[in-house]
Amino acid sequence: MPPIEEPQDDLTVTPPKTWAAGVPAVAHALEYSLAQTSPRRTALTLLNLNQDGGIDCPGCAWPEPKKRHKNEYCENGAKHVTDEATSRRVTREFFAEHPVAELAQKSDYWLNQQGRLTEPMVKLPGGTHYQPIGWDDAIGLIAGELTGLASPAEAMFYTSGRLNNEGAFLLQLFARAYGTNNLPDCSNMCHESSGSALGETLGVGKGTVSLEDFYEADLVLVVGQNPGTNHPRMLTALEQTKHNGGQVVAVNPLPEAGLKRFKNPQRPSGVVGRGTTIADQFLQIRLGGDLALFQLLNRLLLEAEDDAPGTVLDRAFIERDTAGFEAFAEHVRRTEWAEVLEATGLTREEIEELRGRVLASKKIIVCWAMGLTQHRHGVPTIREIVNFLLLRGSIGRPGAGVCPVRGHSNVQGDRTMGIWERLPEPFRHALEEEFGFAPPTEPGYDSVHGVRAMRDGKVKVFMGVAGNFVRAMSDSAVTEEALRRCRLTVQVSTKLNRSHTVCGETALILPTLGRSDRDVQATGEQFVTVENSMSQVHTTRGRLDPASPHLLSEIAIICRLARRTLGTGGSIPWEHFEADYGLVRDRIARVVPGFEDFNERVVLPGGFRLPSPVNEGVYRTGSGRAEFSCNDFTSLVAPAGHLVLQTVRSHDQWNTIPYTMDDRYRGIHDSRHVVFVNPDDLDELGIEDRALVDVVSVWDDGTERRLEGFRTVSYPTARGSAAAYYPEANCLVPLDSVAEASNTPTYKGIVVRLEPVAGGGG
Ligand SMILES: Nc1nc2c(c(=O)[nH]1)N[C@H]1C(S)=C(S)[C@@H](COP(=O)(O)OP(=O)(O)OC[C@H]3O[C@@H](n4cnc5c(=O)[nH]c(N)nc54)[C@H](O)[C@@H]3O)O[C@H]1N2
Ligand SMILES: Nc1nc2c(c(=O)[nH]1)N[C@H]1C(S)=C(S)[C@@H](COP(=O)(O)OP(=O)(O)OC[C@H]3O[C@@H](n4cnc5c(=O)[nH]c(N)nc54)[C@H](O)[C@@H]3O)O[C@H]1N2
Ligand code: SF4
Ligand SMILES: [Mo]
């Protein structure tokens, strides 16, 4: 295959698309796939994608319907799996040719395009290049560092949501047997705010709805989410909601393509016709305005009940299932129209129209993603959404409930398996009973605290199992410096990324099997399991020959590391776990509630759904009831001459990895160095469309962070609400700028100003 060139930055802009999916989507997916690998491998992966007994899509965590189409995947799912199934390879010759310092200058795109990693590599202290190292030596090196630390708290183990359940369970087991709860994960940067808010109010940090609930709902609110790009098959579910007479309302600063019209590529009518109009109402809210919107909506519901007692609130439900109604009602009645209009940028008429839709609906679902969680007041916003649903009794009944739409395909499962810097007492007790050691009780570091600890020299060994920590975290310069201060950094990865180029004194790359690879161990071929966004647990089994004969599975790597670090002969049979993943599942069945008879049930068609206590009227909160909460009104305002900036995904990337320089739905071609600004804001700032600017973020402590040489794009985003791409703009997010309670970086609420570059033109 020809060598990969760095892409040229050559921006062109076309009008944003008003519809999503259809034939072009399928064609784009195939084009990407055929550029990466052979037609045979393309066919093998795609035909098995999301089929029973096949490969679970390594993309997002949207569930599969019971009745599956033979192409039960979307354009982006196809791209994600073929990006992994690529025929390109990163060899020892590649590393000999490119010093680490040179790799550190390459783009995220270029690094990823080099292909699959093929053998373990090490960069030694003072070394300039990665060089090959055998598996035994690599594992021995990590074990040596871990056993030499003054305290287990000096090590930390990061997980990203591609890791399967069995691997996640073993990783947390190892970390805790070793003696630390330092288990940060990508969830800290993702849905942690949802977990915090739902845990407090409903007693469980997960969603309560299933796919069938979408088919029954009267009203689905899609808030702070871009499903056309990030959860494309969700549009099929929303189409069904509409087909069955339900309504959909989208709340977003950006008029995202799929929220408007959708052409279902799995149906002939979707391919040729105009498609379905998805959103009955689109509320173009300002960044960070959602808390204000829901508080006002709640006030309006209380007033509607005053006007027509017994018709609006579900009094019986509130009486029986909830606590704190009176205090909440008194608090929320004080919400002022004027403040809300200012914070949201919406009109009175728009909000009254929404109120009308709510009053006309009995069964309501609220869905959300990063547009809510990655804000300073993400947690109170989600608590306010719970208040809203509780008022109408829209929790725990068919067609209604909360739906935080998860990102990574197994991010929810990893948390269920115990990947968390906190260790809940029942889980700690179950681990102790099952394995006969005393897990640490002290909470560990999450992602933000972990960076601080590395920066301050308190953590000396970083091990990342999947993901691209350096690029995913906020404050890129600070995060990179923190990693460089470590004695040892270890990345267990399928593909090359920026985290491999930011090295501790010693650095290891451990290449591993991906979802699409066949996994054969001493007792034969294995499968692993994942949990989707709707708590369905099912199998995934790779079909391709592994990318290299030298790859180990994540499970094998963790088991070998545990044996070397903790010694053989302990109470945990690591060697047997590596040989037979079924034995791991037997243990999970005894430790994690809801996994009884795991091995038997998971091989049933479609797997099994974990029980949702909320749907049985059980709330594991302090009061044993669903909790109304009082949330302070806050809005996100930028000082004069400034904008609020959010960082978003393009249509053509997987998290930190861009697949191309295009963002087809938003009409951006051949560049990612753009900042989307409302035309009236550009006018007010006296800056032209397509002008070259520095984007400068300002922070409470007076420090500034700068992104140089971006082009403005005049774009129909809400007033005062700009946008740029993740991860390029991560350097603008101060490490200390985090959401209350969840500690998630505020990736969607950064105060910036634009500084025209002299001679940058328009
Ligand atoms: N193709 C593809 N799919 C993916 C991913 C990917 O990178 N590529 N990533 C996966 C992961 S890990 C995740 S977490 C999900 C992320 O899925 P999303 O949350 O949909 O992803 P983002 O691109 O961050 O988009 C955030 C959306 O929220 C809106 N928004 C931002 N701030 C606000 C606000 O204050 N209020 C409201 N109402 N809206 C706001 C933005 O305009 C945007 O539409 O996607 C998953 N799926
Ligand atoms: N500015 C800004 N920053 C953000 C966000 C944002 O919206 N804006 N979103 C945040 C969110 S929601 C998330 S989830 C994080 C994502 O953070 P991460 O999950 O850490 O990042 P990814 O880009 O998904 O990681 C990609 C890498 O994972 C590795 N990989 C892929 N598949 C496998 C596998 O099967 N096994 C192993 N071992 N490795 C594998 C590959 O080497 C690849 O390079 O980023 C967060 N950062
Ligand atoms: S919707 Fe998500 S899980 Fe489904 S095929 Fe697309 S990327 Fe994969
Ligand atoms: Mo995520």
Q: Which atom of ligand 3 is nearest to the CA of 78?
A: 5
For ligand 3, say whether the CB of 77 is within 6 Å of any of its atoms: yes
- In the chain the first and final C-alpha atoms are separated, in Å, by 39
Residue 651 has pLDDT above 80, yes or no: yes
Question: At residue 384, what is the residue type?
Answer: E
Helix (H, G, I), strand (E, B) or coil at 57: coil
Q: Which CATH architecture has domain 89-125+141-185+421-602?
A: 3-Layer(aba) Sandwich (3.40)
Q: How confident is the model at residue 268 (pLDDT cuts 50, 70, 90)?
A: low
Tell me: the pLDDT tens digits for 104-143? 999 999 999 999 999 999 999 999 999 999 999 999 999 9
Give me the mean pLDDT over the 17-39 stretch. 77
Close Cβ partners of 498 (under 8 Å, ≥ 6 residues apart): 104, 108, 111, 468, 470, 471, 656
Tell me what pLDDT residue 18 has: 81
Tell me what pLDDT residue 273 has: 64
Instruction: Report how far residue 310's alpha carbon sits from residue 599's, in angstroms, rounded to the nearest whole number.
Output: 49
Residues of the chain above pLDDT 70, percent: 98
Residue of the CA atom closest to atom 47 of ligand 1: 230
For ligand 1, say whether the CB of 648 is within 6 Å of any of its atoms: yes
Tell me: the pLDDT tens digits for 143-161? 999 999 999 999 999 999 9
Tell me: the pLDDT tens digits for 174-189? 999 999 999 999 999 9
User: What is the best residue among 189, 533, 541 to mutate for testing ligand 2's pocket, by most ligand atoms within 8 Å of CB?
Assistant: 189
Instruction: Report how far residue 296's alpha carbon sits from residue 351's, in angstroms, rounded to the nearest whole number.
Output: 9
Tell me what pLDDT residue 238 has: 95
User: What is the best residue among 230, 256, 655 to mutate for testing ligand 1's pocket, by most ligand atoms within 8 Å of CB?
Assistant: 230
On whether the CB atoms of residues 329 and 305 are closer than 8 A, the answer is no
Residue 687 has pLDDT above 90, yes or no: yes
For ligand 1, say whether the CB of 677 is within 6 Å of any of its atoms: no
Residue 334 has pLDDT above 80, yes or no: yes
Give me the mean pLDDT over the 651-678 stretch. 97
Tell me what pLDDT residue 34 has: 80
Helix (H, G, I), strand (E, B) or coil at 687: coil
CA 159 – ligand 2 centroid, Å: 9
Output DSSP code: residue 233: T
Q: Which ligand lies nearest to the CA atom of residue 286 in the structure?
A: 1
Helix (H, G, I), strand (E, B) or coil at 206: coil
Q: Which of 39, 45, 108, 117 is nearest to 79 (CA)?
A: 45
Residue 3 has pLDDT above 90, yes or no: no
Instruction: Report how far residue 188's alpha carbon sits from residue 371's, in angstroms, rounded to the nearest whole number.
Output: 15
Residues near ligand 2 with C-beta < 6 Å?
160, 162, 186, 189-190, 370, 374, 407-408, 465-469, 472, 492-495, 497, 512, 514-515, 554, 647, 655-657, 726-727, 729-730, 747
Residue 761 has pLDDT above 80, yes or no: no
Instruction: Report how far residue 329's alpha carbon sits from residue 302's, in angstroms, rounded to the nearest whole number.
Output: 7
Instruction: Report how far residue 629's alpha carbon sits from residue 327's, in angstroms, rounded to the nearest whole number.
Output: 8
Task: Quote the tokens at residue 255.
Answer: 């008029």
For ligand 1, say whether the CB of 133 is within 6 Å of any of its atoms: no
Following DSSP, what letter does each residue of 15-47 receive, concatenated? PPPSEEESHHHHHHHHHHHHHHS-HHHHHHHHH
The residue extents of the domains of the chain are 18-84, 89-125+141-185+421-602, 192-404, 643-756
Tell me: the pLDDT tens digits for 431-451? 999 999 999 999 999 999 999
For ligand 3, say whether the CB of 73 is within 6 Å of any of its atoms: yes
Instruction: Report how far residue 728's alpha carbon sits from residue 280's, in angstroms, rounded to the nearest whole number.
Output: 34
- Hey, what's the torsion of the CAs at 70, 74, 80, 82, to 10 degrees? 40
Biggest alpha carbon distance in the chain? 76
For ligand 3, say whether the CB of 231 is within 6 Å of any of its atoms: yes
For ligand 3, say whether the CB of 265 is within 6 Å of any of its atoms: no
Tell me what pLDDT residue 634 has: 87
On whether the CB atoms of residues 188 and 743 are closer than 8 A, the answer is yes
Q: Which of 687, 731, 723 is nearest to 707 (CA)?
A: 731
Topology annotation, domain 192-404: Dimethylsulfoxide Reductase; domain 2 (3.40.228)
CA 168 – ligand 1 centroid, Å: 25
Q: How confident is the model at residue 45 (pLDDT cuts 50, 70, 90)?
A: confident
Q: Which atom of ligand 1 is nearest to the CA of 224?
A: 39
In terms of C-beta distances under 8 Å and separation of at least 24 residues, what long-range contacts does 423-426 make, across chains too? Answer: 423/176, 423/181, 426/593
Residue of the CA atom closest to atom 2 of ligand 3: 60
Q: How confident is the model at residue 269 (pLDDT cuts 50, 70, 90)?
A: low
Instruction: Report how far residue 498's alpha carbon sits from residue 657's, in angstroms, rounded to the nearest whole number.
Output: 10
Q: Which atom of ligand 1 is nearest to the CA of 251?
A: 38
Q: Where are the beta strands (DSSP E) in 272-312?
A: 276-277, 281-283
Q: Which ligand lies nearest to the CA atom of residue 542 in the structure?
A: 2
In which residue are the tokens 């948390």 written? 415
Q: Which ligand lies nearest to the CA atom of residue 697 in the structure?
A: 2
Q: Which ligand lies nearest to the CA atom of residue 464 in the structure?
A: 2
On whether the CB atoms of residues 375 and 749 are closer than 8 A, the answer is yes
On whether the CB atoms of residues 405 and 367 are closer than 8 A, the answer is yes
For Cα atoms 744, 745, 750, give the angle at the middle one, nearest 5 degrees: 140
CA 236 – ligand 3 centroid, Å: 11
Following DSSP, what letter does each residue of 382-441 receive, concatenated? HHHHHHHHHHTT-SSSTT-EEEE--SBTTHHHHHHTT-SSS--HHHHHHHHHHH-S----
CA 726 – ligand 2 centroid, Å: 11
Q: Which atom of ligand 3 is nearest to the CA of 61?
A: 3
Instruction: Report how far residue 344's alpha carbon sits from residue 341's, in angstroms, rounded to the nearest whole number.
Output: 5
Q: How confident is the model at residue 270 (pLDDT cuts 50, 70, 90)?
A: low
Q: How confident is the model at residue 617 (pLDDT cuts 50, 70, 90)?
A: very high
Residue 272 has pLDDT above 70, yes or no: no
Domains 192-404 and 643-756 share a fold: no
For ligand 3, say whether the CB of 46 is within 6 Å of any of its atoms: no
Helix (H, G, I), strand (E, B) or coil at 692: strand
Ion ligand 4 residue ranges (Cβ < 5 Å): 190, 407
Least confident of 347-351, 573-577, 637-641, 744-748: 637-641
403 forms beta bridges with: 367
- What is the 3 state secondary structure string of 475-538? CHHHHHHHHHCCCEEEEEECECCHHHHCCCCEEEEEEECCCCECCEECCEECCEEEECCCCEEE
Q: How confident is the model at residue 40 (pLDDT cuts 50, 70, 90)?
A: confident
For ligand 3, say whether the CB of 660 is within 6 Å of any of its atoms: no
Q: What is the CATH number of domain 643-756?
A: 2.40.40.20
Residue of the CA atom closest to atom 12 of ligand 2: 190
CA 267 – ligand 1 centroid, Å: 26
For ligand 3, say whether the CB of 233 is within 6 Å of any of its atoms: yes
Is the pTM higher than 0.85? The answer reads: yes
CA 256 – ligand 3 centroid, Å: 18
Residue of the CA atom closest to atom 5 of ligand 3: 73
Identify the helix (H) or strand (E) that includes residue 117: strand 116-117
Q: Higher confidence at residue 258 or residue 335?
A: 335
Instruction: Report how far residue 492's alpha carbon sits from residue 729's, in angstroms, rounded to the nearest whole number.
Output: 25
Q: Which atom of ligand 1 is nearest to the CA of 648?
A: 23
Give me the mean pLDDT over the 627-651 stretch. 95
Q: Which atom of ligand 3 is nearest to the CA of 57?
A: 8
For ligand 3, say whether the CB of 232 is within 6 Å of any of its atoms: yes
Instruction: Report how far residue 754's alpha carbon sits from residue 750's, in angstroms, rounded to the nearest whole number.
Output: 13
